[in-house]
């Protein structure tokens, strides 16, 4: 990966689910990494493997509060911005969380970059939920207008807008990766983690939010990290100001099939499936995008594709989460 070999990287949300896997990959490559996290959902233990390389330094700080962490930005040339509140469903009861942890944190980060006058590249972990209920499936990056149906999706779209505006106004370069549902080891949220917790409490019946027909694209965290490294390498030489790529597997899997896989991997039988029926046409919760499939042709044309499809990603993630790997 040429220039990428000696990169100085900053990873916000570096102790979190996806961020810590990215830190692992960067450290394994020999890159110097500063991992930033407020530990609201991240865990220091997630960085143990990477810290053994001697290439990683962890700093606990809160991007929502400008209080001295800004000086850390001088230690990196590329900023991987993965800090965010990971719980999509919380927006139904506490939308302020998404505003603060996503939008305010991103604004503060961009302001800090602007004030240090650094010519930085920022790669932002966005989400498929920015598309809302897309009429076009698979959904391409050019699809629009974008009407998010959750505060999480809205906050992520707002972050994309902020990064784009700062890139065009202040000389940054920005790249947004619109991620499908990412699964794998260290995940504490999401449908698989939820199902495992429920089945450990009661192996006879599994309550499933919604009507079971919710169908979406999933991607294993290892594929997500490889796509991130691939995208940043391809993006930098183009000298583009701002761009966005979808990152996911090319297919879908429904919630009922996910439940079957989790049950199989837990070695259970005769488990009853109890669907809540959901809200607003069978969604798991208000703001839940019921049907999602991303087009990955844009990134695929550059030479990337996921190694695992949605079902394979779900199965491997379930195995990893059950083994604690």
Is the pLDDT confidence value at 268 over 60? yes
Polymer length of the chain? 325
Residue range 294-325, pLDDT digits in tens? 999 999 999 999 999 999 999 999 999 999 86
Give CA separation, 256 vs 207, 242, 282, 286, in Å. Answer: 11, 38, 13, 19
Identify the structural domains of the chain with CATH numbers, from first to last. 2-182+217-247 (3.40.50.720), 187-216+252-294+308-323 (3.90.25.10)
pLDDT of residue 227: 97
Q: What is the pLDDT of residue 5?
A: 57
Question: Is the CB of residue 118 less than 8 Å from the CB of residue 73?
Answer: yes
Query: In this structure, are residues 183 and 218 in contact, taking their beta carbons and an 8 Å threshold?
Result: yes
Q: Which sequence positions are flagged as catalytic?
A: 152
Q: Kindly report the pTM of this predicted structure.
A: 0.94
**CA 270/CA 303 separation, integer angstroms:** 44
Q: Give 190's DSSP letter.
A: S
């Amino acid at each position: 990966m040429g220039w990428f070999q000696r990169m100085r990287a900053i990873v916000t949300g570096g102790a979190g689910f996806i961020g810590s896997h990215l830190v692992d990959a960067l450290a394994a490559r020999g890159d110097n990494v500063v991992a930033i996290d407020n530990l609201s959902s991240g865990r220091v233990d997630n960085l143990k493997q990477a810290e053994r390389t001697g290439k990683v330094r962890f700093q606990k700080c809160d991007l929502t509060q400008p209080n001295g962490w800004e000086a850390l930005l001088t230690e990196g040339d590329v900023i991987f911005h993965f800090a965010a509140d990971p719980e999509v469903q919380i927006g139904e009861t506490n939308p302020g969380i998404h505003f603060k942890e996503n939008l305010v944190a991103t604004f503060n980060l961009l302001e800090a970059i602007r004030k240090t006058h650094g010519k930085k590249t920022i790669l932002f972990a966005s989400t498929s939920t920015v598309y809302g209920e897309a009429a076009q499936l698979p959904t391409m990056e050019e699809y629009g207008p974008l009407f998010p149906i959750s505060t999480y999706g809205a906050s992520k779209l707002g972050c994309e807008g902020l990064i784009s505006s700062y890139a065009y106004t202040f000389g940054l370069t920005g790249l947004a990766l619109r991620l499908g549902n990412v699964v794998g080891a260290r995940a504490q949220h999401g449908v698989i983690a939820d199902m495992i917790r429920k089945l450990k409490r009661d192996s006879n019946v599994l309550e499933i939010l919604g009507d079971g027909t919710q169908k979406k694209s999933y991607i294993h965290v290892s594929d997500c990290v490889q796509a991130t490294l691939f995208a940043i390498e391809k993006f930098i030489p183009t000298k583009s100001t701002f761009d966005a790529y979808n990152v996911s597997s090319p297919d879908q899997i429904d919630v009922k099939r996910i439940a079957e896989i989790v049950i199989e991997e837990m070695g259970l039988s005769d488990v009853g499936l109890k669907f809540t029926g959901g809200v607003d046409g069978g969604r798991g919760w208000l703001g839940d995008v019921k049907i999602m499939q991303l087009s990955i042709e844009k990134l695929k044309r550059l030479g990337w594709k996921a190694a695992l499809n949605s079902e394979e990603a779900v199965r491997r993630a379930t195995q990893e989460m059950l083994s604690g790997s």
